[in-house]
Amino acid sequence: MIKRFGLSLSVLLAASLPLSAQAQDSSISELLDKVKAEHSDPKSRRSELPELTELAKILSPAVVNISTAQTVEVNTDDAPAFPKGSPLERFNDFFGGGGSQNGRVSKSLGSGFVVDADGYIVTNNHVIEDADLIEVTFPNGDTYEAELLGRDPATDIALLKIDAGKDLPFVKFGDSDNAEVGEWVMAIGNPFGYSGSVAAGIISARNRDISHGSYDDFIQTDVAINKGNSGGPLFNMEGDVVGVNTAILSPTGYSVGISFSVPAELASSVVDQLREYGETRRGYLGVRPQKVSNAIAKSYGLDSPYGALVTTVIADSPADKGGLQKGDLITHLGGEKLESSRLLSRKIADSKIDEVLEVSYIRKRKKKTAKITIERLKEQVTDEEKARREQAENDIDRVHSGIAIEALSDATRKKYRISDDVKGVRVVKVEKNAEASGKILSGDIIEEVGFEAVTSPKEFEEAMAAAKEFDAPVTILINRGGNYIFYALTI
C-alpha cells in the first residue's frame, strides 16, 4: 500500500546533525562549486561509489525539521473525568471529562528544505495540512514559527516562509528531467524524528504512476525513506534537489526500498506559482484521456504506442471550442511528441494561461492540427473529496508496539472473507520481539483497545499512544474467527 509518511508525535525530540564551521561560514553554492571542481565530469561519477561526507556537511544546514499542531474540538459529555487531586487528573486534557468541550492538540513531524536565503521553505502538503501552528527547526536548534504561503494538494507540495532576520543556508532545484535510472541520490530528513539523517541509494525508475493524483510522475528510488522524511529533499551528486520525498510502498510502514519523490521540474513550477500567487494556476484543456495500447496504436496507423486517446470532451471546454472529439488520438502538444497519456495532464497544467497551443491528433487515421487556447483550471475540493481524503488518511496502514495493522477496506473484507458487521482493524504482522508476539496473531481483528472501539488504523494508533501514557497494561479485544479473546499488554 502506498503511504504518505508524516510522523505522528508523542515524545519525539530530534537530535541535530552537527554543522561544520566551514558550512556555517560559507554559502552552500560556493562549497558545492568546490566539490564540482574536484569532480568535473558528472557522468563519470554516476558509475562510482559516491563520497557523501562533504555533500552531507554542506547540504544539511538547509534541511529542516517541520512540526505542526492542530487543535481539534471534541465532545466530552460522555467521557469519564478523573477526580481533581487524583494522580490521573492531568489526563483530563487528553481524554476530556466533566461534560465540557475541550481542545486537543494533535502534533505531527516532517521534513522540509530552504530554497531561498530569505526563508522560503518547501515541504509536503500532507505534512502541514489543517495545521494551526507550523514550526521550523534547523539542525543547529534555531526554531521559527512559519507562515503558510500556499499549498497544492494535487502534487502534495506546500511553501512556507519564516522571518529569521538573517540570510539562511539554502539549496537549489536541479534538472530532474535528466536524472537517470541507476544514478546515485541522497536524502536528508527527519525519519522518526531523528533530524539530519542521511540516506543514499540509486534511482530505481522514472515516471512512476502510483495512483496518487492526476499529475503522477514520480521518481522511484531505493533510498531508505521512512516516516518523518516526508517533504525532505532528494539530492543528486551535484548537490541539487532532484525530488521531494513524498511516499513509500510498504506493507509495514517502514522502508522496504521503494520510495517515491515528486520530480524537481514539477515541484519547482508549483513552488514558483505558490510564491507568486499563493495558489496554483494550471492550464486546462478539457478532455479525459485513455492509454494507447499496441492494438489501438496500430488501428490508428502508428508503429508504436504513444499519445493520448480522447474518451470524453468536456462541454464548453477549450478542447470543445477547438474542435476536438471523442476518439481523437492526441500525438503532439506544441510540436513536442506526447510520449504517454499520463503526461497529458502535466503538460497541459504547465502550459501558460491564454496560450494558443498547437495540438496534433489523428482522427479516422488522418493527421490533423488544432489551435486551442488554454484556459485556467478551476480547482475546487468538494466536501465529498475532503471526506474521501480524510478517510484515506485514517486508513493508512500503521505499526505500533510491533503490531502492524490495516484497515478493513472492501478489498480486505473480500480477500479474507470478513463480514460487514465486523468492525476493527486487521493484524498484518506481529514482530517476534514484540510484547504481543505469541498472543496476537496475523489475521486477528482488533476491535477494542483499552475498552474503546477502534475502527480505523488511525484510531488504533491514537488509542495505543494514549495507553502508553499509563504505567499499566492495556486490555485489547481480539476477534479471532468469531471467537473473542482479551489480552493485557504492556505498551
Last residue of a domain, one of 348, 376, 404: 376
Which residue among 252, 280, 308 closes a domain?
280
Is the model more confident about 243 or about 49?
243
Say whether pLDDT at 153 is over 70.
Answer: yes
Q: Catalytic: 230?
A: yes
For range 158-180, the mean pLDDT: 93
Q: CA of 437: how far to CAs of 190, 399, 441, 446, 479, in Å?
A: 29, 14, 8, 14, 16
DSSP letter for each residue of 238-296: TS-EEEEEEEEE-SSSS--S-EEEEEHHHHHHHHHHHHHHSS---EE--EEEE---HHH
Question: To the nearest whole percent, how much of the chain has pLDDT over 70?
Answer: 79
Statement to judge: residues 368 and 388 lie in one domain: no
- Please tell me whether residues 27 and 139 are part of one structural domain: yes
In angstroms, the CA 353 to CA 349 distance is 9
- Can 214 be counted among the known catalytic residues? no
Tens digit of pLDDT for each residue in 296-327? 999 999 999 999 999 989 999 999 999 999 99
Report how far residue 266's alpha carbon sits from residue 360's, in angstroms, rounded to the nearest whole number. Answer: 24
- What per-residue confidence (pLDDT) applies to 254? 81
Domain range for residue 361? 283-376
Bridge-based pairing of strands 366-373 and 356-363 is antiparallel
CATH for 311: 2.30.42.10
Enter the pTM of the model: 0.61
Q: Are residues 258 and 305 in the same domain?
A: no
Catalytic residue among 156, 217, 240, 328: 156
Q: For residue 109, name the pLDDT band (cuts at 50, 70, 90).
A: confident
Q: What does the pLDDT look like over 205-259, one tens digit per residue?
A: 998 887 666 677 899 999 999 989 999 999 999 999 999 999 888 777 788 899 9
Q: Which of 126, 261, 360, 444 is catalytic?
A: 126
Task: Kindly state whether residues 445 and 323 are assigned to the same domain.
Answer: no
268-304 b/e (C-beta count within 10 Å ≥ 16 → b):
bbbbebbeeeeebebbbbbbebeebeeeebeebebee
> pLDDT category, 82, cuts 50, 70, 90?
very low
- From 108, 195, 230, 261, active-site residue: 230
332 is catalytic: no
